[in-house]
Structure 1
Amino acid sequence: MNHNPNNYHHYIEGGPVIIGDNCWLGANAVILPEVKIGEHTIVAAGSVVTKSFPDSNQLLAGVPAKVVKKLDDYKG
């Protein structure tokens, strides 16, 4: 949920956050409402994910987060 910017006593409901299998979220990573993260995605520490990244095998980093590297298929 988020606050209504015109009335802080009312909330705006957001959709779910969906995180795929075999993902790793680094310390203090922030995932905003309604974001989908694909399987085998690493989110670097301190990153802020503001939009969806539904593809698999990727490393996200930054504020706002972006794909900085493609990863090999997950072997675990």
Structure 2
Amino acid sequence: MNHEPDDYFSYREAEPIEIGDNCWLGANSIILPAVRLGQHTVVAAGSVVTKSFPEGDVVIGGNPARVIKTLGPYRGNK
């Protein structure tokens, strides 16, 4: 046997996920534990985010997610 069957029934605590202000998460995107997304980050639909993007102001996408575009500073609703 390759594993202990009781492992499936034990509780495991995952690292937290931090999502900054004004972030958009596309449909079916997956954010893995211990990932931090900075402010104004856009995650494309279907992306798998495996690492942090703390700088913010970016569009990320893909599997694994990478920076697709850097956004200008957020100016708010004017």
Query: CA-atom RMSD, angstroms?
Result: 1.4
Identity of aligned residues (%): 57
Q: Which residue of 2 aligns with 1:75?
A: 75
In the alignment of these two chains, the number of paired residues is 72
What is the DSSP-based 3-state SS (H/G/I as helix, E as strand, rest coil) of the residue aligned with 2:69?
strand
Q: Which residue of 2 aligns with 1:14?
A: 14
The one-letter code sitting in structure 2 at the alignment partner of 1:38 is G
Q: Could you report, residue by residue, the CA deviation over 1:20-57 in whole angstroms, capped at 9, with x for unpaired residues? A: 01111111111111110000100000001011111121
* TM-score, with length taken from structure 1: 0.86
Shift >6 Å, 4+ stretches: none
Q: Which residue of 1 aligns with 2:42?
A: 42
**Equivalent residues in 2 for 1:52-71, closer than 5 Å:** 52-71=52-71
* TM-score, with length taken from structure 2: 0.84
Structure 2, unmatched stretches of 5+, are none
Quick check: which one's strand share is greater? Answer: 1
Quick check: which one's helix share is greater? Answer: 2
How far, CA to CA, are the matches of 1:41 and 1:49 in structure 2? 12
Greater Rg, structure 1 or structure 2?
Answer: 2
- Distance apart, 1:12 and its partner CA: 2.4
